Structure formats: C-alpha cells, structure tokens
Chains A and B, each alone.
Chain A
Amino acid sequence: MSEEQKSEQEKSTGKVPFVDYLVLDKTPYLQAHECESCGSRYFDRRNACAKCFEDTFRQVPISREGEVTSFSIVQMGPIPYVSAVVDCEGTSVKCTLMNVEATPESVNLGMKVKLMTYSMGEDSEGTEAIAFGFEPSET
C-alpha cells in the first residue's frame, strides 16, 4: 500500500494497521510482496529479492486460513503467550496465537487457525491501531 493510500485509509476509518502488511479492508487480510520474477514472498520493505536478486514486486493477498507448523509458549514476561508459525496455503506467517490458552495442552502442531484482528487502543488523536493474530478455526 502506498503512503497516500495509507493516510487515506487512516482519515476515512480512523484506524491504522499495526504493520504495513495488514490490510484493513472490511475483511482484513495480510498482504505480501511477491517477486514478479520468481514468486518469492516477503512481508518487509524490500530492496530486492533474496532468491533471484530482481527488484519488482506485486502485492498479493495471503490466505486467512492456515495450519500451525511450529509454536512455542514464551514465558519470559509477565504474561505467557503462544508464538507460532502458520502455513497459510503455502506462505509461512509469523504470529501470536490469540483466543487460546497459553498451555501445551491447548495448542497442537497441525492445528487449523484463522486470521483475526483486535484493537491496540487509540493514540492522542483518536486513531485506533489494529493488530492481527491467528485463532483456532471453529469446526
């Protein structure tokens, strides 16, 4: 998303995404930079493609559904949380699992999850920040 589009979005909705690659549409989704030459996908601002060294990218939406391929329950702070890697139909996404107890019994490798968003609160100008996580898919 360009800077202009972004500030447009902010003005019209009063919301900003926690990271650039979260798109706050009616149905929010994650978006990757996909290398036009080799198809590799990235979430950060790019100088070039790490696989093929080309530098043209298109924006592609990432599936909102995925499967947990790895996780850890991080207990070094005051609140334990589940850090996970989710395979979203072929694209790996790093996230925190939400709406799940941070216990080994509550999380499984291969577990089906889906994208969710939540408010991080408003700043002094009333702009609301929206973050994303993944949560267990209802079956």
Chain B
Amino acid sequence: MGSDAIWIVGSNMTKFGKHPDKDVIDLASEASRKALKDAEISLADVGVLGVGNLMNAGAGIGQQLQKQIGQTGIPVFNVSNACATGATALRVAVMAVKAGETDVGMAVGVEKLAGAGLLGQTGQKPKSETWEPNGRYGALSSTEGRIGTGIMPGVFAQIGMEYGHKYGGTSFELFARISEKNHAHSTLNPLAAYQKRFSLDEIMNDVMIAYPNTRPMCSGNCDGAAAMIVVSDEKMKSMPKAVQKRAVKISASVLTSDPWVDGCQILPDVNTLTRNAATQAYEQAGIGPEDLDLVELHDCFATAELVHYDNLMLCEEGGAVDFFESGAPWRDGAKPVNVSGGLQSKGHPIAATGIANIHEVVMHLRGEAGDRQIEGAKVGLAHVIGLGSACGIHILEKVA
C-alpha cells in the first residue's frame, strides 16, 4: 500500500569543533559520503540536492560539493536562511520527494566558523566629513550601541528577559542553570565541540557577554557539517532490510517565517513563528508534545532555551520556569531537552545546525546514540530558528 510518508535512511554529522586542515567542501564531502554509505545508496540514485551554507551563500557550495564527490546533473538548491539554513536544505529535499519529482533527496549543511567571533550586525560605513543620513532609519552612523543592540547575544538576552517580564520567575541564575544542564549533557557526546562540564559558579563567573548570558551560555562558533538522505515510502520499501530497520519516519516537516505581530520589528519575535511551526508540526504528525521522548531545540543562548520550552508547548503557556525547575529537561527527566549538549556545547556551525539537531534525534530513535541514548525513544522533535526569522521543526518517529 502506497503512502506519502518520507523516511530518513541515511544520516551523518562530522565532529563539531575546529578543523583547520579541512575546508568547507572537505567537511560537506565527509558528511555526505557517510550519509550515503549509511543509507547503502549510491549518489547516482539521488535526484535532488539541497545544500545550506551561510558564510559563502553566493559561492555555489552545492556544485562545488558535486565536483568533489560526484557530478550527476541533478538539480541543486543552494539555500541560505540564517541559523535555519540546514533545516531549509532538508525542507527542499523533503518537498521534492513529497512532490514526486524524485524518490531520493540529499540535504547537506556545512559551515566553517572557528575563530569567527560573535556574529551579528556589521558594516559600519566609513566616517564622512559631514553627517549623512543612511538606510531606512536615516541614521547618521551605526545604530549599534546607540539605539540598543542588534547583535545576537544581546537580542537573545532581551528575548529571555522579555519572557521574565511577562511571566516572572527568571533570574541570572536560572538562565545559568539551563546552561549548566546542556554542558553536563555534552560530556556524553563525542561529536560535541566542547565536552566540559561546568559548575554553576563557573558559568556565572565567566566573562559576561550580554547580561544575563555569560560566555558558556552562548553557542560556540565552530566548524562542522551534517547530511541526510530522505526517500519516499515506496523507495524505502525497496531498500535492503537492514536499511528499512533503521529508517526513521519524518512525521512532520515545517518551516515558518514571522507573521506580523505588534513590536516584532523592534525586538525580533522568535515566539510566534515557533509556536506556529509547532502547532503545524503536531497537527501534521498527529501527535502532541506529551508524546515526545526527546527534544533538540535551538539553544543559541541559554535565554533562548527557556522561551522555547513554552513555544514548543512542552509546558503550559507561561510555565517555562516551572518546567525547568521540575527537572523535566534534564536527560533523566520527563522531557529530555538537548541531550546532545545543545548549541552551547555541541557547537553551532550555523548551516550544519539545522540538520545536526535532526541527526541527534535520528540516532536516539535508532537506538544508536551510545552513552547518551535515551532508552526506548520512539518520537523526537528537532527545532531550529534563524533570526530574521525562519523556524524549522521536524518531528521524527521510529515506526518499523
């Protein structure tokens, strides 16, 4: 019986961290070839290629990758969607398979960032002799610092603080404890860029980047790649039994952008589009947050993780602080969140992130997550958000 289900049959991520001896294409090649091998499939069978890379968005990384691992003439979609770039590349592959254009799609996300420093607004115009208005605000010089901040750590700090203003219960220490959890989780993940456990004191006394986020509470820039092979239901059923046994069903694949809400052009609203994506994803999958065995969410900063407990409806509206205080998001809690260590310790090679978080869920659902395995995991959710904004949510299920 035919079904329009889409399956992940191959998945891989490189070690995240510093790869001084490898370029972007080396990393993308490694993840792609291992994902193909994982699926026991040849590149010749792949009918569409979605490739995400942010730092070289105009460079045709997809075609450069083909020139190293195999040129088959298939359509390549080079995508760039801020921190949701990887999820966007996967969406392209999923849409193409769903549309019946091909049976097999490959998605790759890759980034080299080690040593890039903190990312955000750049591009101050050279100082002119006289005051000249520039841009859509007619600003006489860079607005950064003069009119608040647009740099990520400050923006996401304000997003967490806004939640605190609305619902209460937040504090510097609370946000630091979220980070403490993720760093503790990372000790079990050999692919994480940082596997160091930090005490709460160490986190709170580290360098302050943008209050209330200290350095360990910010995602780490690093290098890495992740790749995934997706196939149609029909194709999956024609694959070797061993591949079928490890196949993971994509029960929901959703991408949203910001709907207009009051104030969203002042402080980015990462809440509404995440909540919208979650609502759509739960509906598509026909399951609810209560069914999730693990969640990988976009903790680009500790302050962001808190608001997404709420946005993904892991708790009641306004209940994110209580949810955290209950111990639920720890790996031995009721709703493990970021057992990979999250972006704060696993690292955040931007375009790879949106596939790597799905890879993490795949590993658990297959029962191949090693020391950090969440026992008996059957359903998982991966969430990513790119400021601007784009939100990708995938819900995966182990069905076979």
Residues in A lying within 8 Å of B, measured CB to CB: 16, 18-21, 40, 42-45, 50-51, 68-77, 81, 83-85, 92-96, 104, 109-110, 120, 123-125, 127, 129, 131-132
Contacts and interface: CB of A to CB of B under 8 A. Distances in A.
Interface in B244-289: 260, 262-263, 265-267
A124 B148 contact: no
Contact of B151 (A42, A68, A74, A127): A74
B349 to A, nearest CB: 21
A84 B137 contact: no
Given A83-B149, A96-B147, A129-B140, A74 B210 contact: yes
A126 to B, nearest CB: 10
Chain B interface size, as a band, is 35 or more
Given A50-B265, A76-B118, A93-B266, A19 B130 contact: no
Closest 4 A/B residue pairs (Cβ)? A72-B157, A20-B138, A92-B263, A83-B148
B260 A77 contact: no
For the residues of B in contact with A, the DSSP-based class is: loop
A45 B140 contact: no
24 contacts: A16-B131, A16-B140, A18-B140, A18-B146, A19-B137, A20-B138, A40-B262, A42-B265, A44-B137, A70-B162, A72-B157, A73-B211, A74-B151, A76-B118, A76-B153, A83-B158, A85-B162, A94-B148, A94-B267, A95-B148, A120-B141, A123-B130, A129-B140, A132-B147
A106 B165 CA distance: 16
Given A16-B140, A123-B130, A124-B129, A72 B147 contact: no
Contacts of B213: 72
Contact of A72 (B130, B141, B154): B154
Contacts of A94: 147-148, 266-267
B146 A45 contact: no
B59 interface: no
A85 B130 contact: no
B327 to A, nearest CB: 26
A108 B373 CA distance: 42
Contacts of B161: 70-72, 109
B165 A129 contact: no
Contacts of A124: 129-130
Contacts of B260: 40, 50-51
Given A19-B143, A74-B145, A84-B148, A92 B208 contact: no
B162 A95 contact: no
A19 B136 CA distance: 9
B266 A72 contact: no
Nearest to B267: A85
A13 B147 CA distance: 23
B165 A69 contact: yes
Contacts of A120: 140-141
A5 to B, nearest CB: 13
Question: Which of B131, B143, B172: most chain A Cβ within 10 A?
Answer: B131
A83 B141 CA distance: 17
Contact of A73 (B136, B164, B210): B210
B213 to A, nearest CB: 8
A76 B210 contact: yes
Contacts of B137: 19-21, 43-45
A73 B153 CA distance: 10
A131 B138 contact: no
Contacts of B153: 72, 74, 76
B10 interface: no
A69 B265 contact: no
Contacts of B148: 83-85, 94-96
B158 A72 contact: yes
